[in-house]
Every structure is written in structure tokens, then in C-alpha cells.
Structure 1
Amino acid sequence: MYKHLLVEGKALKSNFYLCCETNHIHLLNILNDYIDNFHNKDIVIHTNYKKLEVIKIHFHKNDLPHLLGWDKSSSLNSAKKICDAISKEKITHKSIKKHHRYSESKKRMLQYNFLHEIFFHGGINACVMTMDMKPNNMNLDVVFYEEKIEEFVVLGLRKRIDTGFFVLTTLHTTGKSNCPYNYRRKTRIKFIEWQPKP
């Protein structure tokens, strides 16, 4: 069934799990949505940047705990353990709300649908190359970002040397006055290809 929501003035119609308000947060639903739509899948992003015309991204569910800040609100020390605990509902939204770093996780979870906007809806038509950016405290190579009403939402990727694939590394928000990516040259995204499974 399609869901319709108005998010910051945008009408969203989607089969994806929509997480736009605090009462929408359900960890198992988010995890299942990510597994259904992203986990163990690869995409290729074609850009107009001659030094990096192709960005190959691999998605894995174990990237999600760090991406959404679940590791900040859990005593478990590995992404796999966190995903397993969520799948068994041993970790829930109710349980992490008690954690003193919950607010950090909450901000990230409310940006979860930014992934769908980039990789499915084509709502973002440019990215920023940051591998030569100084300072680059998070060692990001590629950043997607979008201006919201009061802030920027940022998705950062890092290239793995061993595989050559980029992986999702950070999803966060930053104030409008201190977003360094807003002053960088934007690289246009030509098109995105989802790769067939081998």
C-alpha cells in the first residue's frame, strides 16, 4: 500500500518505510526496510566529474547502526550484534529512548528517508567530492547534502581501499551557518544504475 506524507512541504508517495516524525520511529521497521531495499545491493552513480566519473556503492545492513546512531544508544559493541538484537526486538525505540545519547540517534533516524530520496527518487542531482577537502575530519570522499528548513542533512561516503566500493559512513544534520559543503563545487549526477545480483 502506498503511503502519503507531507514532509517539509514535499508530498511523498512511497512503498518505503517513512520515518519523518518521532512517533514514526520503529527500529525493526527501519531495519527491515533497509534490508529489503538496500542490503547486499550495489549501485553505480555516473557523474560529470572527470576524476571520478563512476561511484560504485555497496550497501550492507551492518552499516546502518553507525549511520543512524544506534551504536551511540546501545551497550553492544558491534553492528552485527545490534542488528541481531533489533531483529529479535531486544533493542527497540522504547529501550533506546532511555539512553543519554538518544537525541543524537533520533536526529539521524529522522533523516533515514534521505537515502530513498537520493538512490530511488532521484531527488538529489548533485554531490560534492571531498577527498581533497581540508579540513576533512571524517575522511569522507563523497557527500550528498540537501538544504532543509532550518539545517542541512548530510550523507557522507568513504571509499574502501580493499574493494574499491564506496560505503555509507555518516548521516547527520548541520546548521546552515557551518555547512562546509555548501561552498564546494558541486558534481552533477547524470544517472544511477542499480546493479543486478551476480
Structure 2
Amino acid sequence: MHGNGGNISHRGDSLAIFHRLGFNVFIFDYRGYGRSDGVPGERGLYEDAATAWQYLVEQRGFAGNDIVLFGRSLGATIAAKLAAEVEPAGLIMESSFSSARGFAQAVLPLLSRMVVMRYRFDTAGYVRRVTCPVLVAHSPDDDIIPFQLGQAVYAAANQPKTFLTMQGDHNSGFLQSQPGYEQGLREFMSSRVFGGQEGVTKNN
């Protein structure tokens, strides 16, 4: 699930990585993104993710325990919310924040005390309810979402869980982190998700 900026037409580099890893990918645009009609909002984004899951499971016949949810930035929050409500094989959260409030406090601490938050996007709260293996990936050099927010998401997750330290900025860190990024995904999928081993903290 992609982040707040762009749409699925901008995810070619990520799709190429998953293709090299040998995974089938289903990608979609939320309402109001790309060619999808509607106006985006927090509840609507969650509903769109749930609809995508229902399509794969109910119409396409995929088993939930064969599906790994992936979300980047805002998409990580949406993926975590869905993972807390269904039973996927695994959850990958990249460059995520702990909550809308946590993000505001980290980036604009003074202003965050004076405004009422319209959105919650409670990533840490959602991931506490997730029972499948979790991979959290974040870069200390992230120029949009501070690294400590990714660490907070990891701290909130249950075992088995893995932390993958990336390199580079928010939007292209996964490319700047090669080959460790791709290797980290491969190891998580092969050993933590489909291999049944306990997750451990991993730095690349």
C-alpha cells in the first residue's frame, strides 16, 4: 500500500524488487488517487484496503495465510490497520510513523500542542493487535518521518518481529539501501513468514 504522495504508476521500482524476489503483487489506488474516484479520508482509506483484501480472498480465492501486507509511509498505517483485523501471513511496514499525533509532535512540537488533530492514523495502536510476523524498515536519514517514530512502531509490535535499518531519504531509501534492503525482505519472507522461525532484530 503506497503512501500519501503519488499513485500506483509511481511504484515501478518497488514492483521490480518484488518481482525479483519471486512474489506475485496486487497493488491498488485508494479512493481519490490515480484513476480511483472519490475523496480520500482516514476511514475511506481503511475501507479501501479491506475491500482489496476481500477481493483477493473472496473473489480470487487466495488464502489469507498466503498474503503478506506491505505498506510504505502512510500505507504502513493502512496495512497495520488491516493486519489487525484479518489474518495475513506477514506485515511489512516501511518508513512509518507511530501516529498522526506522534508525527506532529516530532516535527512541529509547539504547533502540535495548539491544534486538534483531525486524523488519528494510530499505527502503533494497530500494530499492537497484529499477531503475524512483522518487519519494520526505516532509515536514520529519513527526511520526512523521523527514525525514532519507526522505532516506536517496532517497539509496539509483537514477536516475531524484525527491524531492518535502511539508508537514504524517505522516498527513495529502499533504492539507496540495496542490496541489503532486498536481502532483508528475502530473509524475512523465507524464514520469518513462511519458515516459521522466530523474528529477531536485524540491521542491514
Same structural fold, with TM-score higher than 0.5 when normalized by the shorter chain: no
Return the structure number with greater relative CO, CA threshold 8 A, min gap 6. Answer: 1
- TM-score class normalised by the smaller sequence: under 0.3
Higher relative strand content: 1
Normalised by the length of structure 2, the TM-score is 0.25
